[in-house]
Amino acid sequence: MNEISIKSFELTKVYYSIGEVAAMFEVNNSLIRFWEKEFDIIKPKKNKKGNRLFTKQDVQNYHVIYHLVKERGYTLQGAKDKLKGNKEEVAENHEIVQRLSNVKSFLLEIKASL
pLDDT, tens digit, 9 for 90 and up, residues 1-20: 444 444 445 567 889 999 99
Number of structural domains in the chain: 1
**CB-based contacts of 60: which residues, under 8 Å, 6+ apart?**
11, 91
Question: In which domain, by residue range, is 98 found?
Answer: 6-113
Q: For position 47, which CATH number holds?
A: 1.10.1660.10
Specify if 1 maps to a domain. no
Reported pTM? 0.70
With b meaning 16 or more CB within 10 Å and e meaning fewer, what string describes 13-39?
A: eeebebeebbebbebeeebbeebbeeb
Specify if 102 maps to a domain. yes
Q: What is the pLDDT of residues 25-82, one digit of tens each?
A: 999 999 999 999 999 889 999 989 989 999 998 998 898 899 889 988 999 999 888 8
